[in-house]
Amino acid sequence: MSLKTEFNSFFDLVRKRRSCRNYSEAPVPDALIRNCLEAARLAPSACNKQPWRFIVVKDCELRRKLCSDGLLPGISMPWAQKAPVIVVLCAETSILTHTIAPMISKVQYHLIDIGIAGEHFVLAAEAQGLGTCWIGWFNEKQVRKILTLPRSLQILSLISLGHPASPMEPPEEGKRMKLEEISRII
Ligand SMILES: Cc1cc2nc3c(=O)[nH]c(=O)nc-3n(C[C@H](O)[C@H](O)[C@H](O)COP(=O)(O)O)c2cc1C
């Protein structure tokens, strides 16, 4: 593939990704989930610490609990219940890179790392025709309890995953800030 074609197909993928809030009940084959995890596994991370941990919840009852008790009130997300997979994105932090180094640099490296790995996951899903939505409005305590996660894992986001029930609308250009507003080339 030429460089130009490679960029175009990458850019098409990025451009067409939208948060999916309407899932069909069709299950997601494990092979597709594993492809998403593999894409996340290859993400860069500070000091190559790879702090990401993915809990992939397919179990119907656990998903029901996550979507009823595990989400915070105020934003209604009934669609989450229909997603056949809920991924819980966690960080297992290390003392040096994630506690001591940020005291000096003031940068929370694990948050960056988990964001990158999570988006690798999301884009791999998109490339396979799957839909995702980051869910940051969750109840940390409840999610920990429902999944009996140890204290050593920091829960940072949920991501719903499934087949979109209807074709996704293309992103509206007006919903993104202009390039000049977010960047400066000096
Ligand atoms: C860290 C993060 C947390 C988010 N949390 C939620 C959420 O709790 N509920 C929700 O419906 N969407 C959530 N979103 C999705 C955003 O609303 C969405 O990405 C944004 O509006 C842009 O729309 P698009 O993803 O369709 O391009 C979240 C996105 C990110 C990156």
Is the minimum distance from the CB of 115 to ligand 1 under 6 angstroms?
Answer: no
Pairing of strands 52-57, 131-135: unpaired
Pocket test for ligand 1, best of 15, 19, 87, 138 (most atoms within 8 A of CB): 19
Q: What is the pLDDT of residue 40?
A: 98
pLDDT in tens, the chain (186 residues): 788 889 899 999 999 999 999 999 999 999 999 999 999 999 999 999 999 999 999 999 999 999 999 999 999 999 999 999 999 999 999 899 999 999 999 999 999 999 999 999 999 999 999 999 999 999 999 999 999 999 999 999 999 999 999 988 887 888 999 999 999 999
CA of 172 to the centre of ligand 1 (A): 15
C-beta 79 within 6 A of ligand 1: no
Tokens of 143: 């999610």
Fill in the amino acid letter for 27.
P
Expressed in angstroms and rounded, the spacing between residue 47 Cα and the centre of ligand 1 is 28
Q: How far is the CA of 3 from the centre of ligand 1 (A)?
A: 31
With contact defined as beta carbons under 8 Å apart, do 23 and 84 qualify? yes
Q: Mention every residue, 6+ apart, whose C-beta is less than 8 A from residue 84.
A: 23, 25, 26, 27, 28, 58, 63, 161, 162, 163
C-beta of 41 in contact with ligand 1 (< 6 A): no
* Domains present along the chain, CATH in parentheses: 21-165 (3.40.109.10)
What pTM was estimated for this model as a whole?
A: 0.96
Ligand 1 pocket test: pick from 21, 67, 134 the residue with the most ligand atoms within 8 Å of its Cβ: 134
19 alpha carbon – ligand 1 mean position (Å): 6
Report the candidate in 179, 161, 126 with the shortest Cα–Cα distance to residue 29.
161
Nearest to 93 by CA among 125, 64, 50, 129: 50
Of all protein residues, the one whose alpha carbon is nearest to atom 9 of ligand 1 is 135
